[in-house]
Amino acid sequence: MELELRHLRTVRAIADAGSLTKAAAALGLAQPALSTQLRRIERALGGPLFDRDHTGSRPTPLGELVLERARVLLPAVRELQEDAVRFANTWANLDRFRIGATHGPLLGGLVDRLVTARPGVPVTTHTTWSVAEISGMLIEGRLDFALIGTCGESRPPAQDRLHWEVVGVDPVFVMLPESHPLVGQSELELSQLSGECWTDVPGEGCFADCFTAACSGAGFAPTQVYETDTASCVHLVQVGRAVGLCRATFPPTPGVVTRPLAGAPLAWRHLLGWHPGAPAAEAAKAVSGYTGVAYQEAISRSASYTRWLASSRRPGFGAPRT
């Protein structure tokens, strides 16, 4: 039998799991089938790779040698595959922009700036709530740039392979119906909203947990959270069914007012990402500049955010200082 990459992946899976039973479950195989496969691999490599007893499976010295080489070979092959796919998806058609984004306030502004700066150059967009999907498309070369958001200081995806630049940091504001009794206040304590139903958009990451923790710190647990698309969130607020959570850059909307929360207990980072090895990375400086302008324009459209930033020194919020 000739050794293949899949055999190395099998050996690594057994080592990572610590037993054939757990490895078989992880690989979706029956244990007898995995045992048979391991015996074939061991015959090809000249000896046993694991010592097995009732406590599990431990690599033999030969197994350690194979695992050491596998830890080098498998990531290298994965990187080769990713580079090849990215090359195939970008090299043939460089003169265009493919922008991916989670649903936020900057995509439209960036597209407008790109079309203005490069008339006639195609600009395409892909939106999804999944930052994992967006980052995967960047790695594969199916996108050139991505606009995503992360809660607070949480890490963006695939930091080892993608470059992420902070565009700006927003406090999280509250959307209220214009008839709400608290709209006359310039800033709200979270505890003042303890009896409300809430609405916000879906997404990955820790935001839901951070919101629950902030509510707990304010002495209550949210009784109802409607997680839905932006238009439905706005409608629920407009008709008084819920108060909403939004970035401070949320644009003016009929029937809705936005107000900051005292102490800014929640924050949202806007990030621009690209693959440093992709041909499109040569345009990163220009695209970053256009995105920064789009962010400043989004701030200027929000009267409540502009007032909040101007009311006192707000370190860490707004565009990063250069």
pLDDT at 88: 54
Three-point CA angle 125, 127, 129, nearest 5°: 165
Residues 104, 75 share a domain? no
Residues 86, 105 share a domain? no
The enclosing domain of 126 has a CATH number of 3.40.190.290
- Rounded distance between C-alpha atoms, residue 148 and residue 224, angstroms: 26
Residues 125, 81 share a domain? no
Residue 217 gets the label, from left (phi > 0), alpha (psi -120 to 50) or beta, of alpha
Contact 135, 146 (CB under 8 A): yes
Residues 114, 78 share a domain? no
Give the closest residue to 147 by CA, choosing from 194, 185, 114: 114
Q: For residue 13, with 0-12 CB atoms within 10 Å meaning exposed, 13-18 middle and 19 or more buried, which class applies?
A: middle
Residues 309, 165 share a domain? yes
Q: How far is CA 166 from CA 92, 229, 262, 318, in A?
A: 30, 25, 24, 10
pLDDT at 92: 45
- Rounded distance between C-alpha atoms, residue 166 and residue 54, angstroms: 51
| pTM exceeds 0.95 | no
Residues 71, 158 share a domain? no
- Rounded distance between C-alpha atoms, residue 57 and residue 254, angstroms: 64
Q: Which domain holds residue 294?
A: 94-322
Give the residue from 58, 90, 122 where a domain finishes: 90
Q: For residue 316, with 0-12 CB atoms within 10 Å meaning exposed, 13-18 middle and 19 or more buried, which class applies?
A: exposed
Residue 221's CB is within 10 A of a number of other CB atoms, namely: 9
Tens of each residue's pLDDT in the chain, 322 residues: 678 888 889 999 999 999 888 988 888 888 888 888 999 998 988 999 999 888 889 999 999 999 888 888 888 778 767 766 665 555 444 578 999 998 878 999 999 989 988 888 899 999 998 999 999 999 999 999 999 999 988 889 899 999 999 999 999 999 999 999 999 999 999 999 999 999 999 888 889 999 999 999 999 999 899 999 999 999 999 999 999 999 999 988 999 999 999 999 999 999 999 999 888 888 888 899 999 999 999 998 888 898 888 876 677 888 887 5
Give the residue from 38, 68, 90 where a domain finishes: 90
Give the residue from 38, 73, 90 where a domain finishes: 90
Residues 318, 244 share a domain? yes
Q: What is the DSSP string of 133-164?
A: HHHHHHHTTS-SEEEEEEETTPPPTTTTT-EE
Angle, in degrees to the nearest 10, between helices 284-301 and 107-117:
130
Residues 185, 135 share a domain? yes
Residues 164, 105 share a domain? yes
Helix, strand, coil percentages, rounded to 5, for the chain: 45, 20, 35
Locate all alpha helices (DSSP H) within 28-162, ordered by sequence: 31-45, 61-90, 107-117, 131-139
pLDDT at 6: 87
Would you give the DSSP letter of residue 88? H
* Cβ-proximal residues to 100 (8 Å cutoff; 6+ apart), any chain: 125, 126, 127, 128, 134, 137, 138, 143, 145, 146, 147
pLDDT at 91: 43
Coil, strand or helix: which one is 174? strand
pLDDT at 95: 77
Residues 210, 80 share a domain? no
Residues 242, 164 share a domain? yes
Residue 198 gets the label, from left (phi > 0), alpha (psi -120 to 50) or beta, of beta
Residues 63, 23 share a domain? yes
Report how many domains make up the chain.
2
The enclosing domain of 59 has a CATH number of 1.10.10.10
Q: How far is CA 268 from CA 153, 235, 248, in A?
A: 8, 23, 9
- Rounded distance between C-alpha atoms, residue 125 and residue 98, angstroms: 6
